[in-house]
Amino acid sequence: MKIRNIISAVAACAVAATAFVMPASAADTYMAGITFQSSSFMYRDDLSQDTILVWDNDLGEGVEVEGSSYVDATITGDGTYTVELNGVEDGGWNMLKVDTEIDAAVNPNAVLTITGVELNGSAVDFDATAAAMDNTSTVKGSDGVDVNPAVRAQLINVYDNLAAIPNEGYSSIKVTFEISGLSGAPAADNTDTDTSAPSAPATTPSDSKGSPDTGVEGVAVVAGAAIAAAGVVLLSKKRK
Q: Tens digits of per-residue pLDDT, 92-151?
A: 999 999 999 999 999 999 999 999 999 999 999 999 999 999 999 999 999 999 999 999
- At residue 152, the pLDDT reads 97
User: What is the percentage of the chain residues whose pLDDT exceeds 70?
Assistant: 65
Model-level pTM? Answer: 0.67
- At residue 29, the pLDDT reads 95
- At residue 230, the pLDDT reads 45
Nearby residues of 21 by Cβ (< 8 Å), 6 or more positions away:
214, 215, 216, 218, 219
- At residue 146, the pLDDT reads 96
- At residue 10, the pLDDT reads 44
User: Element (H or E) spanning 31, and its range?
Assistant: strand 30-38
- Determine if residue 215 is left, alpha or beta; phi over 0 gives left, psi from -120 to 50 gives alpha, anything else beta: left
Q: Are 81 and 176 in contact (CB under 8 A)?
A: yes
Angstrom distance (rounded) from CA 40 to CA 37? 8
Q: Are 34 and 98 in contact (CB under 8 A)?
A: yes
| Mean pLDDT score, 215-231 | 44
Q: How confident is the model at residue 229 (pLDDT cuts 50, 70, 90)?
A: very low
- At residue 199, the pLDDT reads 39
Angstrom distance (rounded) from CA 11 to CA 189? 48
- Determine if residue 183 is left, alpha or beta; phi over 0 gives left, psi from -120 to 50 gives alpha, anything else beta: alpha
- At residue 140, the pLDDT reads 95
Angstrom distance (rounded) from CA 159 to CA 211? 47
Nearby residues of 118 by Cβ (< 8 Å), 6 or more positions away:
124, 172, 173, 174, 175
Q: Of the ranges 17-21, 147-151, 193-197, which is most confident?
A: 147-151
**pLDDT tens digits, residue range 32-53?**
999 999 999 999 999 999 999 9
- At residue 91, the pLDDT reads 80
